[in-house]
Structure 1
Amino acid sequence: MILIISNKYDLSVDYIIEILRKHNDSFLRLNTEDIVNFRFKAEFPEGKLQIISPDGRKIQGKSIKSIWFRRPGKPFENEDLPSPTKEFIYNQWHSFILGLTTIEGIKWINNPFANYRAESKMLQLKIARDCSFRIPQTLITSDKKELETFFKWRGEKAVVKALDAPLIEEEEKSYFIFSNVLEDISSIEESEVSITPFIVQELIEPKTDVRVTVVEHKTLAAKVSLKGCASSMLDWRACKDINLVKFEPFELPEKIANLCVRLVKKLGLRFAAIDLVQRGDDFYFLEINPNGEWGWLQKRAGLPIAKEIARALCEPMGRK
């Protein structure tokens, strides 16, 4: 039995379910918006778990071989409850889902605690360096004097980006903070720098963006290129016209592919999306997303990512 934990808007799950059905693999999709329609029981010290689905299926914890911790959302998203009550209820369910990691013998893609740890940009850079990846010269600071020193040393341009999730969520709208080129810092006030730490990196140019999806020992890479008016953009994700972004299958040098697999393993993950840039024969590590999106990449670059995830979910935990 494969347990898929996600949300009802997650179309990438559909790719996996199609493959699982084709091979008659048993699975249960648990959308967190519908979690209150399931019934759960966990017993200790026995360590037993039971899940009863809305259609009456009883799933015993010992029958679950793998869990795909995909994109869980919040329960009660449309319930007319006070916000503090919603948050309290969400926290209880979140704690329960995390508690599923206590069940022994389950293969997680990925363990949520490993996901959370791997989201640290500072940890990513440290582990990437330990794995012998090239990384751009990087400064993480909230001090304008340090920023000025970095610019004097590295030149007139640098890349600035968020240290944590680059998303600002408001009730009516969300905003994504893309990486940007910073050129003139003379007009930046000290208070604008000191309010929060951020990442400043050496600008690698000319460069080619490469997106690498790692599923256990497999690497599936795509080269990203921008066309027309978008060709000068630093961050291809900022392009509003997806037709100006081209994704092509890309064969990584064996050494770089092995580094990607090693990095994912050292972070305790089985799946991740890695952003690299290539300049000449050199590849530089930028960041890793332990739960990166891939549905659009499979469709546009023709990469068999869903097939590899399905394989990983179905294979025994110790198999490589």
Structure 2
Amino acid sequence: MILLVTNKRDVTTDFVVLEMRRRGLPFIRLNTEDLPEHELVMANGDPARTTLTGPCGNLYFPEVTCAYYRRPGSFAANGQEAMAAYVVAEWSAILRSLWNALEGRWLNSPFAILRAEDKPRQLAAARRVGLTMPGTLVTNSFDAARAFLADGPMVAKPLRHALIDDGKIGSVVFTSRVAELDAVDADAVRRAPMILQREIPKRSDVRVVVIDNRVFATRILSQAHDETQVDWRRGVRLDLVHEAMELPAKLAEACIAVTLDLGLRFAAIDLVEDTDGRFWFLEANPNGQWAWIEQRTGAPVTAAIVDAFICGRAE
């Protein structure tokens, strides 16, 4: 039995569901928004002997052979605010026990994902496996940021959250070019640490999906449009050209190595290809999106993920 931990609106999980149905594989989709509607029985207080019954069906944890922690949704409880908060906290606590009980059966463990989301840790891992990366400074010091800029063109990006939630629509924090820093910017810089990196003159952006020892690379022709030159996600251009590509063998091996170094079996890695054809590591998303890559290029990512469910970690 394959367990998919996700949310009701995750289209990427829908791709996986269709592939498993095509192959006739048994699975359970657990949409975590529904958790408080389930009944849980943990025999002998042993998480490995848990049964969860409710909207997901009948989930018996000893029967789970592989689990995919995709994009779980948040959940809420009814009732007075303090009691509702207590209920949510108790369900959250039991989830940690259940996820621990599945250790060794995850495509990516939720705890490995949490650790791998640390971007400075990603840079250290990339350095260990020999990937090239832009000069980087993490700081909230205005003086340090201005000195870094004085040494060459730079971009700024967030350490963790790329969305500022104002309770309404919110806004996305894209990677942005920093042309100058004046005294009026000092307070803004000091508010929170950020990542500053040397801006690499681009030929293209490259998204690399690693699944165990398989690599799917896509060249994104971001330099064709003004708004996508620094961050290809800006503008949400539907005409942004994507091309399947073959990475140099040593680079593909390094992408697999950095994924393993981070304790992962799956990663969505962002690279930059410069104007001389050299590749630079930017970051590795341990739970990144990939469905649009398959739609644009035909890369069989879904099939590779389902293969990983069946075969376990490739040697």
TM-score, normalised to structure 2's length?
A: 0.92
Equivalent position to 2:180, from 165, 180, 184: 184
- Aligned pairs for 1:66-77 (under 5 A) are 66-76=66-76
User: 1:254–1:56: structure 2 CA closer, same or farther, 3 Å change rule?
Assistant: closer
AA in 2 matched with 1:95: A
Where 1:68 maps in the other structure, the secondary structure is strand
Which segment is superposed worse, 55-64 or 27-36? Answer: 55-64
The residue that corresponds to 2:300 in the other structure is 304
Instruction: State the match for 1:101 in structure 2.
Output: 99
Q: Which residue of 2 aligns with 1:89?
A: 87
> Are 1:275 and 2:273 an aligned pair?
no
Contact 1:141 1:147 in 2 (8 A): yes
The CA deviation at 1:66 is 0.8
2:166 matched to 1:170?
yes
* Structure 2 contact 204–223 (Cα < 8 Å) conserved: no
Distance 2:74 2:303 in 1: 28
Q: How many residues align?
A: 314
Q: Secondary structure at 1:259's aligned position in 2?
A: helix
Please point out which of 144, 147, 155 is paired with 1:149.
147
User: Shift in Å at residue 226 of structure 1?
Assistant: 3.4
AA at the equivalent of 1:5? V
Contact 1:4 1:27 survives alignment (8 Å): yes
Counterpart-to-counterpart distance in 2, 1:177 and 1:295: 22
Counterpart in the other structure of 2:23: 23
Change (3 A) 1:86 1:244: farther
Shift of 1:192: 1.7
Whether 1:199 and 2:181 are equivalent positions in the alignment is no
1:307 alignment partner AA? A
Describe the shift of the 1:174–1:49 C-alpha distance in structure 2 as closer, same or farther (beyond 3 A). Answer: farther
Aligned match of 2:13: 13
Closer/same/farther in 2, CA of residues 319 and 47 from structure 1, 3 Å limit: same
The two structures, once aligned, show a CA RMSD in angstroms of 2.2
TM-superposition CA deviations, 1:49-76 (whole Å, max 9, x none): 3334437954322211111011001113
Q: 1:105 and 1:74, CA in 2 relative to 1: closer, same or farther beyond 3 A?
A: closer
Q: Distance in 1 between matches of 2:133 and 2:109?
A: 26
Q: Provide the identity percentage.
A: 30
Gaps of 5+ in 1: none
- Residue identity matched to 1:278: E
User: CA-to-partner distance for each residue in 1:139-174, whole Å, 9 max, x for gaps?
Assistant: 111111111211222x2x211111112111232222
Structure 1 position 99, deviation (Å): 1.6
SS in 2 for 1:107: coil
- Which blocks of at least 5 consecutive residues in structure 2 are unaligned? none
1:292 to 281, 288, 293: 288
Residue 244 of structure 2 corresponds to 249
Q: CA deviation at 1:217?
A: 0.9
What SS class does the counterpart of residue 54 from structure 2 fall into? coil
Deviations 1:164-222 (A, max 9, x none): 12111232222210000001112543222211111110010033100001111111110
Measured in 2, the distance between the counterparts of 1:104 and 1:68 equals 10
Displacement after TM superposition at 1:16 (Å): 0.8
- Deviation per residue, 1:210-254 (Å, 9 max, x gap): 0001111111110001376446631011123x2231211111111
TM (norm. structure 1) is 0.91
CA contact (8 A) 1:33 1:74 kept: yes
Q: Contact 1:230–1:239 (CA<8 Å) still a contact in 2?
A: no
